[in-house]
Amino acid sequence: MTSTTIIPAGSGNRARGGRLRRLDGADALVAALWLACGGLILVPIGALLVLAARGEHLSVLLQGDVLQAGANSLVSAIASALAAVVIGTVFSVLLERTDLRGRGALRLLALSPLLMPPFVGAIAWLGVAGPTSPLNLWWRDVFGAPLWSIYGADGVILLLTIHSYPIAMIIVSAALRRIPSDLEQAARIGGAGPIRALTSVTVPLLRPALVSSFVLIAVGNLADFGIPSIIGLPERFVTLATLVYRYLQSGTVDDPLAVVATIGVVLLVLAVLALVADAALARRGWELDSSNAVPERTPLGRARMPIGVTLWAVVLVITVLPLLALLTQTLLRAPGVPLTWENLTLDHFVRAVTTPSALAGAANSVMLATLAAVICGVLGLAIGVVVARTRGRASRGLGAVATVPQAIPGIVIAVAWLILAPTLGLFNTPWLILVAYVTSFTALVVQAVAAPLSATPTSAEEAARVAGAGRLRALVDISCRMAAPAAVAGAVVVAVTAVRELTLSVLLLSPGSQTLGVAIFNFQQAGAFNTASAWSLIVALVGLSVIGLATRRPR
């Protein structure tokens, strides 16, 4: 009797005895995906590095405006990241480990700033604490001076914090669920009180999650464009992102593309160093086995009511108050007029939804977001399946390259594609924005596919191989079908992200390719505050509707 040895999927490139395995369709798929990732990610970043490596504009990094903008970027990114981690941790601990009432509704409201575009949030908060806001006008009438103007460095840090603390909240909440409740119970048995057990046992174990959330938020806020441009520039608080925009738009420097490429490399190096430090600290962290025991929520006792009221007040101020301010700015006849029935009108809303430039921007945004979602969905599905279901250095490297753009500030990706645009014939076309979207957002689908597929047994694929299917056929018929729902969900996230995006669009803008985010930004910069507020209100309500539908539980 003879026996046949079956080489399962993912067994590498060598068969038994060290003999080379014959290349098949799966290897061709990996090679094709490497070509796609190389063209979308490695080539633009390489072009950026090559242009900056010439060294012709290194002296620009020592100029006063660049140094000041760099210092402002570091200060705002670090300060907002620290504040966001503190707020997100407090929210997470209170909602996950205590007996507060209404935790579900609080969690939903607390996460809602994540769905509102930062530049829309900036416009909304102008109605709360801007110079002509009802609060500041009333305070000036009573005391002779405004209470506080949101313009300037403190306003930039505040809004960056508000729009990034949900990221820390998500990361810390996930880490809290992995910490065994047995440790807190052991501390309670040893005589520690509920609060003492929480602060002395659980919180110290959150250090890796706190560091990771800080790095992620700081890197994201380092190159944010929307908030510093709307809130910082009126007080001459210039960051690297707004400085790059000024260089590209005004032509105040010689060879602006090479200059901004040099600045882009600095941002890239800072982001890479932060991620390397985060990875080094993560390797020194603890790995705990999760427990099946239901976490015992810490009773707050008499503090339950005041803490609950305070938390509700903070969350409502952060989420509901800006929406009311947007509504007020949309309905008032002019900024700064008293809030009375005689001064309310729907003219600004009608004008906003009938303005040709805004409608064209909305159509372009929908088109580009839809195309980006389809391309990222297909490409991300293929990469995610290969990463999760095949073995070898080529697959691991493909997954690493595909997720690199998540660690790269959007402004760096925009500058990289600007360098390549003339060579590829993409300059002054909407397709330049599309390829930048695909570069930036494919990683969202890859992670949505690879993570759950890696935790799924490979028995179905192995059965298909036993039945005679090749590796590629097994991947397509089994793995891709299982991962398709995750890819669709990731593509929806890409569409929602792209339709409201500003940083890439405003830097890659060309005639006839204005997006909705750029249209709102231009209304704000041109002084059409009511029109900008009307469109911002529409975008904000659509975003909140998305989170409401996504979190709705079926009956």
pLDDT digits (tens, 9 = 90+) for 60-89: 777 888 899 999 999 999 999 999 999 999
State the Cα–Cα distance between residues 328 and 335, nearest whole angstrom.
10
Q: What per-residue confidence (pLDDT) applies to 387?
A: 84
- Residue with the larger pLDDT of the pair 300 and 236: 236
State the Cα–Cα distance between residues 275 and 238, nearest whole angstrom.
25
State the Cα–Cα distance between residues 240 and 244, nearest whole angstrom.
6
State whether residue 115 is helix, strand or coil.
coil
Percent of the chain with pLDDT over 70: 84
The mean per-residue pLDDT over the stretch 140-149 comes to: 84
pLDDT tens by residue, 337-363 = 777 788 888 888 888 888 888 888 888
Least confident of 184-188, 212-216, 275-279: 184-188
Q: Highest mean pLDDT range out of 144-148, 293-297, 429-433, 542-546? A: 429-433
State the Cα–Cα distance between residues 145 and 142, nearest whole angstrom.
8
Instruction: Give every CB contact of residue 139 below 8 A, 6+ residues apart in sequence.
Output: 145, 146, 147
Q: Are 153 and 75 in contact (CB under 8 A)?
A: yes
AA identity, residue 494: V
Tokens (6 digits) for 171:
């990361």
Backbone torsions φ then ψ of 14, nearest 5 degrees:
-125, 140
Helix (H) or strand (E) run with residue 368 in it: helix 356-389
State the Cα–Cα distance between residues 378 and 381, nearest whole angstrom.
5
Tokens (6 digits) for 57:
């504009």
Long-range residue pairs from 314-318, CB within 8 A, at least 24 positions apart, any chain: 315/106, 315/109, 315/110, 316/109, 318/110, 318/113, 318/162
Residues in the chain: 555
pTM given for the model:
0.83
- Nearest to 446, CA basis, from 124, 40, 112, 80: 40
- Nearest to 271, CA basis, from 407, 168, 167, 439: 407
* Residues pairing with 282 in the sheet: none
State the Cα–Cα distance between residues 268 and 247, nearest whole angstrom.
18
Say yes or no to pLDDT of 96 above 70: yes
